[in-house]
Every structure is written in structure tokens, then in C-alpha cells.
Amino acid sequence: MKPNLRRRLMLCAAMLGAMPALAWSDTYPSKPIRMVVPFAPGGATDVVARLISQKLGEALKQSVVVENRPGANGIIGTDIVARAAPDGYTLLLNSAGAQTLSPVLYKAGYEPLKSFAPISQISNIGFVMVVHPSVPAKTVQEFVALAKSKTKPLSLSAGSSMIELIGATFKSAAGTPDVVSVSYRGTGPQMQAVVAGEVDMTIDPFNGMAMIKAGKLRPLAVFASKRSPALPDVPTMHEAGYDGMAFNSWAGLLAPAGTPKEIVTRLNQEVNRILAQPEIKQRLAAIDYEVVGGTPEQFAATIAEDAARWAKIVKDTNYKAGS
């Protein structure tokens, strides 16, 4: 075969191989997209999902519908996406807990990274300890003293595996094992449980800012290395006398493993454009969510690091789910 003819055939083969990718990028999306949130409405990931889905739908000129699939500490909804067709029409708006911690604590049908195509980390999420106003404690020290006095049985609501583990870590550090942990199907319901007086305290991912401002929740401390701009008068757990209590989560967008790279790239670009909008930055900052963004590779690295970190914490503390 002549060299020129061989080169022409190779070029034709390369062009034919590229056609599916070109077709994907030209036609996607051609129908509505569902964005699965593995927790009940009103939680941290749900709040982010509804904010991002609206803007993403506008950018893609196609509906992006949020679908809440709560249960089993986020495993049910996360597993649904892991098993979905990798065509870009089923996405996952997940938290660090369901993505990287739940598979360590429970039998899950997915792996934190291998089962997904990371698209973009959206925000970092902090935590604040809040109590019902009827609880006679205005500081962490007073809450601990009340728990140790056993004059009133105290309870803690937990809507995710991460909240459960942080709560268990706090109870161990404070020496208050008798504080009862009560499970809920998401951080929205766990916060509402405190507002309703069903439980005394929770570790809130800043879902309850409106309730704090309305006086329906009392913040005692933030689980961070520095004070929150949203709650500047609330001390850190370190300031309250408890070291090693800085924890944070994140919200991020993922697709099933095997989703075409062109679709992942397109979605990543659109999400980063959305996160650059002043309105979005302002709305996320109002609930103390730090905008992140970045590349799929950077998000993948964060997932891998968090999975290793939580696995080590669970091993080192010998933590058992439900304990």
C-alpha cells in the first residue's frame, strides 16, 4: 500500500472515531436531565442542588429536575446514580458523607471514586452546633454540664453518617455518652426536629440560618478552625475548649462512571460559569458555603483524599455506625 493512501485511510479512521464524541457535544442535552439528591428536601445538598439546577437548566436550555431519593445515609440515592446509564441524563448532587464515609460504614453498592465521573466540587460546607431555645445552655460548656448532671435526658438528631460520626466524636471528647443520637433522613429533617422540640441539639450544616436569626435555634459553637463570617459572634469548638473538632463537608456534582468526557467537560464548564456569578456567590455565602469550583480532576483528588481520611478516622476511633 502506498504511503499516501495509508495516511489517508488512517485520517479517515480517526475522523470516524471522533464522530460519536462530536455528535455528543453537538446534541447534548436533547431531553430533561434529572439531578438526584440522596437526602430529603431542605438539607444542605438539596439547597445547593436547587440553586445549581435552575441555573444549569438555563445554561443548557433544557430542564434539570431535582429528584430527592433519601435513605440509608445517602446510599440509596447515590447507588441509583452509580447504576444509571452513563449518558449525562442522570446526575448526582452529593455530600462528602454519602460519597466517601457511608461506603466505609455500611455495605454500599458503589465505590467513592471508581463508580463515578466527578464533574465539579461546588462548595465547602461547615457545621454549627445548635440547640432548641428551651435547652438551658448558652455555651458548649453549659450544655456539657447539663448532660453530665443527668437532670434532663438530652438528645442529638443526625441526618447523615457524617453527622453521626461528628456527634459521636463530640460526645467522646466531652464525656457525655448518655446523649442519645436519633437518626433522621437528611440534614433538613434533623434540623426541623430541633426546631419542633423533638430533640435538644444537632450539628447543622448551616441549613438553619433562618431559624437561628428567628430565634428558633440557638448556636453554641462552629466546628471549624476559625469563626464563621455568617455567625461572627459564635465561638469555635477550640475556643469552647475542645480541640480536634474541626470538620467540614462539601457539595459536588457527579455522573455515573463511563459518562463521555465531552459531556463531563461541558457540565464542568457550565457549573464553573454559574459559580462565578455574583448572585450565586452571595447566596451561598449567606449560608456559609464557600464556593470552590475547579476541574473534574481536582474534584476527583478531593474525593480520594476524603475517602482515605474518613477510613482512617473510622479505624482509629473504632467507630461503629449507630453506636
What are 99-113's pLDDT values in tens digits?
Answer: 999 999 999 999 999
The answer to whether residues 263 and 288 belong to one domain is: yes
The answer to whether residues 218 and 286 belong to one domain is: no
What pLDDT score was predicted for residue 321?
Answer: 79
189 domain-assigned: yes
206: domain CATH number?
Answer: 3.40.190.10
The answer to whether residues 114 and 197 belong to one domain is: no
The answer to whether residues 206 and 284 belong to one domain is: no
Range in 22-31, 55-64, 153-162 the model is least confident about: 22-31
Average pLDDT over residues 168-196: 93
Which of 207, 222, 237 is a domain's end point? 222
How many domains is the chain partitioned into structurally?
2
On the question of pLDDT at 22 being above 50, the answer is no
- Alpha helical stretches, state H, the chain: 3-27, 44-60, 75-82, 96, 102-105, 140-149, 161-174, 187-195, 209-213, 261-275, 278-285, 296-317
On the question of pLDDT at 13 being above 90, the answer is no
The answer to whether residues 297 and 162 belong to one domain is: no
The answer to whether residues 91 and 46 belong to one domain is: yes
Average pLDDT over residues 286-308: 95
On the question of pLDDT at 18 being above 80, the answer is no
What pLDDT score was predicted for residue 7?
Answer: 57
The answer to whether residues 252 and 120 belong to one domain is: yes
For 177, the domain range is 128-222
On the question of pLDDT at 221 being above 60, the answer is yes
The span from the CA of 34 to the CA of 54, in Å, is 12
Question: N- to C-terminal Cα distance for the chain?
Answer: 72
What pLDDT score was predicted for residue 301?
Answer: 97
The answer to whether residues 63 and 91 belong to one domain is: yes
40: domain CATH number?
Answer: 3.40.190.150
